[in-house]
Structure 1
Amino acid sequence: MKLIAYHDAFLRDTVNLNRSRLDQLGNRVSSIVSALEKDDEVGDILVRHIPQGSWSHNTIIKPLNNHEFDADILVELKEQADWSERDYITAVRDAFKRSTTYKPLVRKKNRCVRIGYNNDCHVDVVPYIKLSDGRQVIVNWAEEKFEGTNPDGFTAWMKEHDELALKNLRKVLRLLKYLRDYKQTFTIPSVILTLLVAERVTSWDADQRYKDVPTALKNMLNDLDQWLDMYPLMPWLEDPSCPGTYFNHRWNEDQYKSFKKRVKKYAAWVNEAYYEPDKTTSLTAWQRVFGNGFKAPAVALSAAASESAPPTPVRLERAPNEQYIEELGFNINLTHVAHIDATALMDGWRKKDLRRLRWLARNCQLDFRVTTDVQEPYDVYWKVRNVGVAEHRLRGEITADDGRRTKRENTLYPGRHYVEAYIVKDGQVRAMDRHGVPIE
């Protein structure tokens, strides 16, 4: 059984970080940033701070088994022509060392300066620089080099997929982080877990596949298990918001193999619990996954209220000429990954990554490119869907790619539009991706 109310209570009472801790975390971050702003040296080059990671993605959980909860923030610093890569981390660490409040709490890490507190919490302060050549980077201290990053873009990408999953992606990620920290049978950095799970979320049949937490958990785990089966060794883990940047150096082969093994095991356990028709037996099966903290809510709900949450529809009302890929004779068998990258031509000459822009102006040229891990040969199909005030031109037709695996569009109408790409091989849609296009 789904036991929807049980999942909701488990998240609320056991998994989610409580509001008082979140408020305390916010206050601490404000104080940390204030200390940097007041510093005589760093204050002059500090531009802003950007929440990152679990805190920004709303996937932070209560600590357990001696784990800490944490917040990641990027502090944007102005580029200094005579500084080396390491100088940015050194400058931030030295600023905290000059503070009587933070001197005893500071510790340098490879990509950040950590402020550690005594009550199971720390804040990682990551220097972030926009270089004169247009790159956005953080520092790898050990290798004395810059690494590409796109903090706003990754958060936007994750939130796009959370919206597709009816905002259940963030809840599933919290459950999987709890499973990781509770079982302690596998190790995976949160950013890689977010990448691997969010990549499995697609717009196809989303209103059914993600209509409640246990259904979303079951489908995301099974889809992840199916995808991992294709890779005996760790595949390339590319940042979807920053092409050419990979997360592989944050994991290793043994950890990957252990994770792959455990995903298969826990997916089978979740399937057993989900499909068990007897409520008592199902509860026991769910407790095998999450422990005895998974239990009936303190306030019992009616069966109708607890087991039937009406799905929020994902699909817009069908446009006059709109097409859906499954209606064109293709079977949906999403075994692989596709990524759409997009650039916007600004002012007729400046190209910018679309995920780095919150909104687009009208009359910009957009270039979309799709990449995939599907083995050639395969075909690519595109769909452009306008929404909002473009009612007289609500596109949605599906067109075949011309062989270049790219598509060019122009921004004409305000609204939150999107572009989808489908990778078709042997009559099956093996991968698909969606890229939002917000136009002012």
Structure 2
Amino acid sequence: MKHVKIFGEFLAESVNLNATRIGQLETRVEVIKTFLKESVWDPKISTFIEQGSWAHDTIIRPVDGGEFDADLLVKVKSVDGWSAAQYVKELGRIFQNSGRYGDKTQVYDYCVTITYADDCKIDIAPLVMDRKFQGTLEVCDRRSDSFNESQPIEYTRWIREKNGYSGNNSFRKATRLIKYIRDIKKRFSCPSILLTTLIGHRIEWFDKDSPAFADTPSALQTIMGRLDDWLQARPDRPIVENPSLTSEDFAELWNDTQYANFRKFVNKYRKWIDEAIVADTRSDSIEKWRRVFGDEFAKGENVKKAEATGALHVLTLLKDSAAHLDSLVEAVVDFGITILPEKFRSPSHLQVPQWQPVENVSRNVQVFAEYRASKASGKNNRVNSGEVLPPRGGLLFDVKINKFQAVPGDYYVRWRITNTGAVAIALKKGRGGFESPNEGNRRWESLEYRGVHMAEAFIIRRSDNRLAGYSEPFYVVVK
């Protein structure tokens, strides 16, 4: 069953970024525009261009305490003698030296990011016009000190064209729903620009007014089916051209493992969506839709919870020793880490912190991880907590406080790495103790043992050796 009305309510109440946040975002952007126009930043500002999910109207509200971000391009005239890096560095300096934005500013390769106390980030990037010749637009890569051609207006025009073909705003609605699946399930990685492009390529001019896009669930089923067919025909990572700049391959945002994982889960969710639509009864159909979207879907309906069924199954697979069966990994792969019970986080071999806590221990500590084929590899890919990974290569863990700030120098970091699974426990590799970083505050861990493992960061004050903050577990699912 399609449940068109329920989908409308689900989008409005759980998926779409609500009007209050949109209004707050727009106000903040206007303040930033005024600030830059009145600043002493050398480049002459031509205009501002909204970019990314915000401009494309595919932005969704953050899940599980995450963040939503908006991209703002500052179109400027070129400055004689300036390098690419200089545009970004000087833009960062303007914000960092201001009383309003100084403590909110982080400078990255292409942009300056302003992170607010709530769950909002705004990325501001210079877009240099007419540097090479009349009409060229280039973004600036601070790390490589190079200019890269960009066509943001043409890309946004392409998105609007595809949405027009789909009718009923179906392209945008389906894109938001697939992003929601990505964020709530955490089963695959796919940057929004890449995901949006993949979806857009699945819609053609002859889809206009067709039954395949008659309503939101039909559009979702059509897009996921076409995307799965396309992926299954391509076992190796394909090229995904930027439709507005064909020399740019968005698929380079993946590594081969992430592509294989995305391909697998699109196939899985495509089948689940098909099963939900053909279900005979309302209750059975809603249960199957909840397997796709979680309990927020049709949350007012009193039906059996699909994820609750998975959670009960997980309880039967857990052992006090944490030497759980391989089938636990399969259950987590299917349903996500949200089905893990609280007791999973405290197996018997887990060591408790030995430091006395400060008066107010912070939980505003975040762990990030990059996948690398080897410790010495220069190529890396950001992975999410709970993302399924292969038993090879490794992760480089990093820790931040207050979402993006580095740990202050008068504090030090200890990592608690806890392995689970039959193989790790049998080999007495469960660990669960505290270990020092091996690269600044970062720690490298190889991926060897099948299981659902955890990495946690603890921050200790040097002056009195007291615990000042610690993170939530970062789950590593090795299949």
TM-score above 0.5: yes
CA contact (8 A) 1:105 1:115 kept: yes
The alignment status of 1:283 with 2:286, answered yes or no, reads yes
Q: CA deviation at 1:297?
A: 6.7
Residue of structure 1 aligned with 2:185, choices 180, 183, 186 = 183
Structure 1 Cα separation of the partners of residues 300 and 245 of structure 2: 42
1:32 matched to 2:32: yes
SS at match of 1:152: helix
Runs of 4+ in structure 1 displaced over 6 angstroms? none
Q: Which residue of 2 aligns with 1:12?
A: 12
1:244 maps onto 2:241 in alignment: no
Residue correspondence of structure 1 range 419-430 to structure 2 within 5 A? none
Q: What is the aligned partner in structure 2 of residue 145 from structure 1? A: 146
Number of the residue aligned with 1:320: none
1:370 alignment counterpart: none
CA offsets 1:221-276 (integer angstroms, 9 cap, x no match) = 00000001122222112110122122233222221111111100000000000111
For each residue in 1:374-410, what CA deviation from the matched residue of structure 2 results, as whole angstroms up to 9, or x when unmatched? xxxxxxxxxxxxxxxxxxxxxxxxxxxxxxxxxxxxx
Structure 1 position 100, deviation (Å): 0.7
Alignment partner of 1:168 out of 151, 170, 177: 170
Matching residue of 1:436: none
Structure 2 counterpart of 1:196:
198
Question: How far apart are residue 189 of structure 1 and its match?
Answer: 0.5
- The whole-number CA distance in structure 1 between the counterparts of 2:22 and 2:277 is 32
Instruction: Name 1:314's counterpart in structure 2.
Output: none
Per-residue deviation, residues 91-113 of structure 1 (Å, max 9, x unmatched): 21111122110111110112111
Deviation per CA, 1:316-347, whole angstroms, max 9, x where unpaired? Answer: xxxxxxxxxxxxxxxxxxxxxxxxxxxxxxxx
Paired residues of 1:6 and 1:297 also in contact (CA < 8 A): no
Q: Distance in 1 between matches of 2:136 and 2:46?
A: 16
Offset of residue 15 of structure 1: 0.5
State the AA in 2 paired with 1:170: R
Q: Secondary structure at the match of 2:242?
A: coil
Q: Percent identity?
A: 35
Higher relative contact order (CA 8 A, sep 6+): 1
Correspondences of 1:5-404 after superposition (within 5 Å) = 5-42=5-42, 45-130=44-129, 131-133=131-133, 134-166=135-167, 167-207=169-209, 208-295=211-298
Instruction: Spell out, residue by residue over 1:25-60, the C-alpha distance to the aligned partner (whole angstroms, 9 max, x if none).
Output: 001111111111111234x51111100011001111
Q: Tell me whether 1:2 sits opposite 2:2 in the alignment.
A: yes
Partner residue in 2 for 1:403:
none
Report the TM-score when normalising by structure 2: 0.60
In 1, Cα distance between the equivalents of 2:107 and 2:235?
A: 35
Deviations 1:51-77 (A, max 9, x none): 001100111111012320111010012
The number of equivalent residue pairs is 297
Which residue of the partner structure matches residue 434 of structure 1?
Answer: none
3-state SS of the aligned residue for 1:245?
Answer: strand
Distance in 1 (alpha carbons) for counterparts of 2:100 and 2:223: 44
How large is the RMSD of aligned CA atoms in angstroms? Answer: 1.4
Question: Secondary structure of the residue that 1:76 maps to in structure 2?
Answer: strand
TM-score scaled by length of structure 1 = 0.66
Contact 1:238 1:246 in 2 (8 A): yes
Q: 173-182 or 201-210: which moved more?
A: 201-210
2:207 and 2:33 map into 1 onto residues whose CA distance is 43
Mapped to 2, the partners of 1:249 and 1:87 lie a distance apart of 26
For structure 2, the 5+ residue unaligned runs are 302-479
Partner of 2:324: none
Is the 1:79–1:132 contact (alpha carbons within 8 Å) kept by the matching residues of 2?
no
- The whole-number CA distance in structure 2 between the counterparts of 1:254 and 1:199 is 22
How far 1:296 sits from its partner (Å)? Answer: 6.2
Any gaps of 5 or more consecutive residues in structure 1?
Answer: 299-440
Structure-2 separation of matches of 1:210 and 1:296? 25
The answer to whether the 8 A contact 2:221-2:274 is kept is yes
Distance 1:235 1:139 in 2: 26
